[in-house]
Amino acid sequence: MIPNPMFLTKDELAILTGYKRRGLQCEQLRAQGIPFRINAHGEPVVCRSAIEGPNKADPIKETWEPALSA
Protein backbone atom coordinates (compact mmCIF):
# COMPACT_ATOMS: atom_id res chain seq x y z
CA MET A 1 0.00 0.00 0.00
CA ILE A 2 1.39 3.38 -1.03
CA PRO A 3 1.23 5.95 1.78
CA ASN A 4 -0.92 8.97 1.07
CA PRO A 5 1.15 12.14 1.51
CA MET A 6 -1.98 14.04 2.56
CA PHE A 7 -3.03 11.82 5.49
CA LEU A 8 -1.23 9.99 8.30
CA THR A 9 -0.94 6.24 7.85
CA LYS A 10 -2.48 3.80 10.34
CA ASP A 11 0.98 3.12 11.77
CA GLU A 12 1.73 6.84 12.14
CA LEU A 13 -1.62 7.37 13.84
CA ALA A 14 -0.88 4.53 16.26
CA ILE A 15 2.52 6.06 17.10
CA LEU A 16 1.04 9.54 17.51
CA THR A 17 -1.77 8.43 19.83
CA GLY A 18 -0.11 5.43 21.47
CA TYR A 19 -3.17 3.30 20.60
CA LYS A 20 -4.25 0.96 17.82
CA ARG A 21 -7.95 0.86 18.78
CA ARG A 22 -10.03 3.46 16.94
CA GLY A 23 -12.00 4.67 19.95
CA LEU A 24 -8.88 5.23 22.03
CA GLN A 25 -7.19 6.97 19.10
CA CYS A 26 -10.13 9.37 18.84
CA GLU A 27 -10.02 10.08 22.58
CA GLN A 28 -6.30 10.81 22.43
CA LEU A 29 -6.62 13.01 19.34
CA ARG A 30 -9.32 15.05 21.11
CA ALA A 31 -7.15 15.32 24.24
CA GLN A 32 -4.23 16.57 22.13
CA GLY A 33 -6.44 19.02 20.24
CA ILE A 34 -5.60 17.45 16.88
CA PRO A 35 -8.36 17.88 14.28
CA PHE A 36 -9.56 14.68 12.63
CA ARG A 37 -12.49 13.20 10.75
CA ILE A 38 -14.05 9.74 10.86
CA ASN A 39 -14.10 7.97 7.49
CA ALA A 40 -16.75 5.56 6.19
CA HIS A 41 -14.95 2.66 7.87
CA GLY A 42 -15.16 4.35 11.28
CA GLU A 43 -11.42 5.13 11.34
CA PRO A 44 -9.99 8.49 12.42
CA VAL A 45 -8.26 10.34 9.59
CA VAL A 46 -5.70 13.07 10.31
CA CYS A 47 -4.33 15.47 7.71
CA ARG A 48 -0.56 15.44 7.72
CA SER A 49 -0.55 19.26 7.70
CA ALA A 50 -2.34 19.23 11.09
CA ILE A 51 0.82 17.67 12.54
CA GLU A 52 3.61 18.97 10.32
CA GLY A 53 2.25 22.42 9.59
CA PRO A 54 1.81 23.93 6.13
CA ASN A 55 4.01 22.78 3.28
CA LYS A 56 6.89 25.23 2.96
CA ALA A 57 7.12 24.54 -0.79
CA ASP A 58 3.62 25.90 -1.34
CA PRO A 59 3.64 29.65 -1.90
CA ILE A 60 1.58 31.68 0.52
CA LYS A 61 -1.41 33.05 -1.32
CA GLU A 62 -2.32 36.61 -0.60
CA THR A 63 -5.96 37.28 0.09
CA TRP A 64 -7.91 38.88 -2.70
CA GLU A 65 -9.43 42.27 -2.11
CA PRO A 66 -11.78 43.89 -4.60
CA ALA A 67 -10.78 47.18 -6.19
CA LEU A 68 -13.28 49.75 -5.04
CA SER A 69 -14.11 52.35 -7.64
CA ALA A 70 -14.39 55.92 -6.42
Q: For the segment 14-24, what is each residue's pLDDT rounded down to a tens digit? A: 999 999 999 99
List pLDDT tens digits, range 22-68.
Answer: 999 999 999 999 999 999 999 999 999 999 876 666 566 677 777 77
How many Cβ atoms from other residues are within 10 Å of residue 36's Cβ? 20
Q: Which is more confidently placed, 4 or 23? A: 23
Amino acid 68: pLDDT: 79
- Domain range list for the chain: 10-52
On whether the pTM is more than 0.75, the answer is: no
Q: Which is more confidently placed, 3 or 5? A: 5
| Burial class of residue 4 in the structure, from the number of CB atoms within 10 Å of its CB (0-12 exposed, 13-18 middle, 19+ buried) | exposed
In angstroms, the CA 39 to CA 2 distance is: 18
Identify the DSSP state of 54: S
Nearest to 16 by CA among 27, 5, 6: 27
